[in-house]
Structure 1
């Protein structure tokens, strides 16, 4: 298909690549397709993607595609939603076809977000953008909303072919739709090509050295507001490329699976709104924020919007909120101190009182239980402080808050039903589906709201669809299969965690463990993650901190070495089996300010693991202290 018109030597080179990719796909490790948990012990964040591809390129040069060689490649990215071996392989292959660097090809599950990534950077840089397309733009591409809500300015033009595109003072983005992967005519007047590939997603090509400064910014949008093309879809794209065929548009049972997923979420949450299911937890959070901002711009024109967020919460949540605020003039971040010596309820009261006097719009994002210290506020007090009528400086009624609840750690707890604690406060709950909902088998996330948020949920759905961030058919299929057993898995994993925590208390009483109390567990808060602050020594604070950090790594290395089939150094939680260890400061809090980071060990247990062996190895660790 794409080989037509190429020189003989070029055809030979492309054929060699296709034959090699075919062999790679035949021998690839099973985890390339199924794993959502990336090992951090073989990952260097500064070399994300490049370290994997450098070593892959060596294998290609040596025509080595054995299972053993492929299994030894380092982790490509720390999060599967950002990238993975198959997305790297697809980007590498497309880059080879187009004779560009592999960094210049970036795959997305969404067909809209690549354009938004360029528009975001140009908006911050005050640079002009023109978006040019042939045929039809995707139905969900809403230029009016992108300009009015997101603040992105651009010209939109339709052309018959790329030859009609002339030089432009700014960035030229060309969007086109394809039913197969082929080489692209890289017109030098076009800065960015966004090739849409039906249900599979899209691939963005960065054209020319002058545009390479955009690459890290585009990657960051993919990291925070969307996901890479999924492993299954990358595999379909690669197979289509090898066989020189159009994409298989075989009808899936997506509507049936979607109905099953929505019914399961309704049963689990007791929420009154239809659930919205996105490609990842951060994808749904982005839709929530943009939907709420859209609502505020419509109903409270000219008023400041305050996103209230804990500075030490999960880095993705924290970073995304700040990135949204950076792009929209009247949106600001307000820190919410929730952990350790700070009480969430008291902090919310203080913050809401100040925002009320400013006559601003308060949107609060908080995790319950908190991460990584696994704390739960007094829920009656929380409800009361969110319900208090407040006055502006001029004595008018202040705008009531919207509470955006991240309950990834405990998605089984009821907050939103008719008689539940937050039923009378505008509350939207969301959860990352890569945790308990899917048992770690996909990245999809979902959100629901109580009765008071029905209109808001319509806005959120609008932005979820505009960003083309809805869950993929396979993600719906996985969730349909896994959600019905979620509550039982949560219960079983909690039992293992409680037993392990009690054991550590017994054998290492000097360690500080952050976990829910027995009383909270009886109220339904049964997480299977705890944080471990190991005892330390030294003459100064610096020495003690250094000793503790080294001890964390020593413990993790011992666990993953002695129990390699179960213990993993991964950012994970809610898996079907195994035990996962991480240090929040170097993983989930990657973009958090240094002073707010937690250099402690976070441990996540599953319902299916050899708990006695983990106890034994932990006891061995204690003996070396």
Structure 2
């Protein structure tokens, strides 16, 4: 144990600043099949060398493609906790939430029909709102307070979880009757240690919950716990002053046009999970016995799709309805079709949409959108159909006031949510937030209840970061749009045959000013398949050229709204990882920041076109 403590101390003495500060990672040095393991394997090799410094640590492969899923510091903490407990790192998983690891096991057993026995020695039950967990999620469990793990009997027909709050540097008490221990940290989250490795897919299923419904322990909190373990340093507990919190609330409401107090979560998917569950509970309460249709574009952000389908798998009354929104399809027309189908079946429609759409950056005719959402429909029996709830991911345009009383959506129950890791924080934290218009404000307390029971609220550090960066967001959005417009105009001039999806000048004048576009380079081939394959290869070559020629300004990663640089990716191999193959987009997706040398970027693009004989 002394050796691993020494290794971690040396790492902390040479800690790369990016391990704490960045929320983006390079996909060109990331292998999803070896997430976490590749990083730790190479870290252990490095630790055996006599000398290593910041540069050597920075050169290690990316552990995860998103910081919220895991990152170098969470991996090191998991490795250290595994060493302390004579386990393996793959069986140790950190969470920012104190309750989600328990809920992850409850979910696994709910789907498999298994029973769960929960034992805890903390002062109060580690679960929040057990009534909702049983009635809305359908979780079944028995909860027991104990004073000693020797009191835990053998259960041959149930998964046994023990929840405690013990010092992280001390080995957890071993007991053959315990399948997994969840050690709650008072300020930083929790860590799961899986003892029974014979339970099928336990680690995999916990990781999937962390990937889709919550986040890993944040970098700053993981760092604090590591310091606590190896250097016996107790970090100063960070707080968010009420004035700073009010500043964040005011910025969110002002940008979205809402009068409703926002809810701020640990990530975009954390807030989306609370939204979906809150709206589903509202549907269950207002329309008992009715089916709930989650209407969602099949090619949108993979996390959104996967999370919605995971919810539908868990809750019997929830179904997924595909909503085709771009690549020749139209949001308004598609909504007309699916809302008629939902009315016919007398179901509750909850729509998840992105405006502009991702990745083809299309904005619908807002008047026609409002008309289709407010149209009165009838069920097959002639009764009035249930009106839809419209949830909008405004990450691309978080400053468009879609929630105010003058909006064309004012009469539609509308919930807006945004990923805080983009423009709101300039990429400095992973939080996400939501608020509603007046028509939907009754749902906000239900969303808050599910956010609370998941313990997925934003950390104090995330809130303070948002308070620092959100006031400058409108200005940064304008600067980034201007840079993107200049780059798009240049590409259109150099390659008039390239297919570019970007906002029109007319829509920009109406306030939609995203700084992301998609690009399909001119392809060769005599058949459609040959042309598609040619375009795929050319798109990959373009990204490789840009990041190799301008490594400081061009990154191969999924990001948007960062403070500086440009971000290049192919949705099909990044954000659409869980999307059906026929719905994947192999186009280039480019996001431009407010701070970048556009002239240099254009010159590098021109160089690629000349090399490939495109211009």
Which TM-score band applies after superposition, normalised by the shorter structure? Answer: over 0.9
Among 437, 445, 456, the alignment partner of 2:432 is 445
How many Å apart are 1:249 and its aligned residue?
5.4
Q: Is 1:354 aligned to 2:357, yes or no?
A: no
Kept in 2: contact 1:178–1:198 (CA 8 A): no
1:118 pairs with one of 81, 99, 105: 105
1:38–1:78 contact (8 Å) kept in structure 2: yes
Q: Do 2:238 and 2:461's aligned partners in 1 also have CA atoms closer than 8 Å?
A: no
Asked if 1:215 corresponds to 2:203, the answer is yes
Quote the Cα distance in structure 2 between the aligned partners of 1:86 and 1:419.
46
**Cα shift readout 1:238-294 (whole Å, capped 9, x = no counterpart):** 00001235x435352343322211111112112021100000000000000000111
**Aligned residues of 2:283 and 2:292 also touching (Cα < 8 A):** yes
Deviation of residue 316 (structure 1)?
0.6
SS at match of 2:29: coil
- Pick the aligned partner of 2:493 from 491, 506, 511: 506
2:49 paired residue among 57, 62, 65 = 62
Whether the 8 Å CA contact 2:81–2:168 is kept in 1: the answer is no
Determine if contact 2:104/2:209 at 8 Å carries over to the other structure.
yes
In 2, the alpha carbon distance for the partners of 1:254 and 1:93 equals 33
What residue in structure 1 maps to residue 252 of structure 2? Answer: 265
Moved more, 389-398 or 32-41: 389-398
Write out per-residue CA displacement over residues 562-617 of structure 1, whole angstroms, 9 at most, x where no aligned residue.
Answer: 11111100100000000110100001111100110000100000110011110000
Verify the 8 A CA contact 2:178 2:196 in the aligned structure 1. Answer: no
> TM-score, normalised on structure 1?
0.96
SS of equivalent residue, structure 2 residue 320? strand
TM-superposed CA distance for 1:138, in Å, is 5.5
Query: Which residue number in structure 2 is paired with residue 187 of structure 1?
Result: 175
C-alpha displacement of 1:546: 2.2
Matched residue, 2:184 = 196
1:349-428 → structure 2 map (5 Å cutoff): 349-428=336-415
Q: In the superposition, relative to structure 1, how do residues 517 and 328 fare at CA in structure 2: closer, same or farther (>3 Å)?
A: same
Q: Does residue 78 of the first structure (1) align with residue 89 of the second (2)?
A: no
TM value normalised by structure 2? 0.97
1:184 shift after superposition: 0.8
Write the mapping of 1:170-185 to structure 2, written as runs, cut at 5 A: 170-178=158-166, 180-185=168-173
Q: How many residues align?
A: 611
SS of 1:306's partner is strand
Q: In the alignment, is the contact (CA less than 8 A) between 1:428 and 1:447 conserved in 2?
A: yes
Match in the other structure for 2:151: 164
- Give the SS at the match of 1:209: coil
Look up the match of 2:559. Answer: 572
CA deviation after TM superposition for structure 1 residue 23, in Å: 1.0
Change (3 A) 1:54 1:381: same
What residue number does 2:316 align with? 329
State which drifts further: 58-67 or 16-25: 58-67
Cα deviation, 1:151-186, whole Å, max 9, x if unaligned, reads 111111111111111111120011112465422112
Q: Is the 8 A contact 1:140 1:468 kept in 2?
A: no
1:436 pairs, out of 423, 432, 435, with 423
The 3-state SS of whatever aligns with 1:614 is: helix
Contact 2:503-2:513 at 8 Å conserved across structures: yes
CA distance in 1, matches of 2:523, 2:116: 55
2:34 is the alignment partner of 1:47: yes
Distance 1:47 1:506 in 2: 42
Determine if the alignment matches structure 1 residue 241 to structure 2 residue 229.
yes
1:158 & 1:335 partners in 2: Cα distance? 45
* Contact kept? 2:19, 2:71, Cα under 8 Å: yes
Match for residue 123 of structure 2?
Answer: 136
Superimposed CA distance per residue, residues 20-58 of structure 1 (whole angstroms, 9 cap, x where no aligned partner)? 111101112111011111000101111111110110111
Separation (CA, whole Å) in 2 of partners of 1:149 and 1:482: 37
**Deviation (angstroms), 1:139:** 6.7
- Displacement of 1:64 in angstroms is 4.4
Spell out the pairing of 1:541-556 with structure 2 (5 A cutoff): 541-556=528-543
- 1:296-315 counterparts in 2 under 5 A? 296-315=283-302
Cα distance in structure 2, aligned partners of 1:115 and 1:137: 15
Distance in 2, Cα, partners of 1:186 & 1:47: 29
Query: Hey, what's the Cα distance between the residues in 1 that align with 2:37 and 2:167?
Result: 29
Per-residue deviation, residues 471-523 of structure 1 (Å, max 9, x unmatched) = 00000000001110001000000000000000000001111000011001000
Q: C-alpha displacement at 1:540, in angstroms?
A: 2.9
SS of 1:365 mapped into structure 2: strand
For 2:217 and 2:441, the matched residues in 1 are separated by 31
Of 65, 78, 82, 1:95 maps to: 82
Q: 3-state SS of the aligned residue for 2:475?
A: helix
- Give 1:145 deviation, angstroms: 0.9
Give the drift of 1:561: 1.1
User: C-alpha separation between the residues in 2 aligned to 1:433 and 1:138?
Assistant: 31
Whole-Å separation in 1 of the counterparts to 2:310 and 2:583: 18
Match of 2:475 among 473, 480, 488: 488
Check 1:284–1:461 CA distance in 2 against 1; reply closer, same or farther (3 A cut): same
Structure-2 separation of matches of 1:340 and 1:581: 20
> 230, 253, 262: which one pairs with 2:218?
230
Separation in structure 2 between the aligned mates of residue 543 and residue 64 of structure 1, nearest angstrom: 51
- Show the counterpart of 1:6: none
Q: What CA distance in whole angstroms lies between the structure 1 residues aligned with 2:129 and 2:355?
A: 35
Structure 2: gaps of 5 or more residues: none
SS in 2 for 1:211: coil
Quick one: which of 10, 14, 18 aligns to 1:31?
Answer: 18
- Structure 1 residue 623: Cα displacement: 0.2
Change (3 A) 1:496 1:251: closer
